[in-house]
Amino acid sequence: MPLLFLLVYWAFLQGNASLIHSIRSMINFDRVLLAVWPSWIFFVADPEERSVAIPVVSVAVNAVLYGAIGWLVWFGLYRHRAMLGVAIGVVLLGWYFLFNWYAGG
C-alpha cells in the first residue's frame, strides 16, 4: 500500500495542489490512509518533500508494524489464544488513539 501510494503520488499528483485537495476532501482520504498506513504521519516532518529518508523510514516502520501485528496474531492462533485477544486489543486501541489524536480530540 505505501509503495503504491508513493508511486501514484510521485507520478500523477506531485505539484498539482488542487487535485490533491479535491481527493483529500472528497472521501476522507487522510483517515483511510492513516488506517492502512499509520506511519504516514512521518511525512509531516518534510513539508517541502525534499527528503528521501522519510519515505523510506515510513515504509520500513509500516512493514515492521504489520509484521509485529501478524506475529502476534500467528502466536495467538497457534500458541496461546490469549495473545490473539491481546493483538486485537492493541490494534484497536492503537487505531483509536491515533484517530483521536489526528482528529484533535
Cell of 52: 528521501
* Greatest distance between any 2 Cα atoms in the chain: 51
- Domain encompassing residue 62: 2-103
Contact 76, 5 (CB under 8 A): no
3-59 pLDDT, tens per residue?
Answer: 777 777 777 777 777 777 777 677 677 777 777 888 887 877 877 778 888 888 888
Amino acid 73: pLDDT: 77
Rounded mean pLDDT, 75-91: 78
DSSP at 52: S
Q: How many domains does the chain have?
A: 1
- DSSP state letters, 67-105: HHHHHHHHHHHHT-HHHHHHHHHHHHHHHHHHHHHHHT-
The SS3 call for residue 47 is coil
What's the predicted TM-score (pTM) here?
0.65
